[in-house]
Structure 1
Amino acid sequence: MTFKTLTCAAALALLPAMSFAYCAGKEHQAQSCAPGSVWDSVSESCVEQASS
């Protein structure tokens, strides 16, 4: 095997692990809340948006 082939194989083998490591530690976020609601990270749910 050539050096290029080994390098490509190693990169492809490590790609899923690097992707997982990049996303680890991210806080949970709702994909979407109803209009007038926002995501509350403390209660981990959508709550009504307070108007000021």
Structure 2
Amino acid sequence: MAKNIKLVKSLIGRKKDQIATAQSLGLRKVGDVTTQPDNAQTQGKINKISHLIEVTEA
């Protein structure tokens, strides 16, 4: 199973670790969408920036 992740809030003014997490998922600008595998690493990243993204099943 995979997850579609969309950045819905800006990264401006966020903590450096939150920005780095979003960028590691391939999210740079508001509206960017990426598909990631559903594994433990991805789940951890999603939990870290859950207030900035929307997640759907791919």
TM-score of the superposed pair, with normalisation by structure 1: 0.23
* Greater Rg over alpha carbons, structure: 1
Q: Which has the higher strand share?
A: 2
TM-score of the superposed pair, with normalisation by structure 2: 0.21
- Name the structure, 1 or 2, with higher relative contact order (CA <8 Å, separation 6+): 2
